[in-house]
Amino acid sequence: MQLEETWLSATRFPDLTIAHMKKSKFSYIENECGVKIDGCYESIVPILPSPELAKLLHISTKDPIIRMQTQAIDEHHQPIDYSILYTNMFEFQVKYYLPRQAPSGPRTPRAES
């Protein structure tokens, strides 16, 4: 289970509804509002939950959780949204595939000893 708190500008997105949020806020922002999303800043930290969060996540206050803060920005680097997500640490899994990047520039031969 994951809990999410999100802040969006009511002035910038006046037609946003709960129905949009249940599907994809980013689909609404890009397809219905014509805003190009450039990227997202993310910060992930482990924390101990407050009693309220522990109750909502059905865990103990001694069980660590993941707190993720995100801020999406548009192509002009203006904020689109700000979110805080809370996830049970035992259910959170991150997998990455990082392609190897070839070094840029000419290679310098190494001297052999």
Taking residues 23-28, what's their average pLDDT? 91
Taking residues 69-95, what's their average pLDDT? 90
pLDDT of residue 113: 52
Distance CA 35, CA 53 (A): 33
Confidence of residue 56 (pLDDT cuts 50, 70, 90): very high
Polymer length in residues for the chain: 113
What does the domain layout of the chain look like in residue ranges?
Answer: 2-88
pLDDT of residue 108: 62
Instruction: Please check the confidence at residue 96 and state whether its pLDDT lies above 80.
Output: no
CATH of 2-88, one of 3.40.630.30, 3.40.605.10, 3.30.70.20, 3.40.1410.10: 3.40.1410.10
pLDDT of residue 47: 96
Mean pLDDT lowest for which of 2-6, 82-86, 94-98, 104-108?
Answer: 104-108
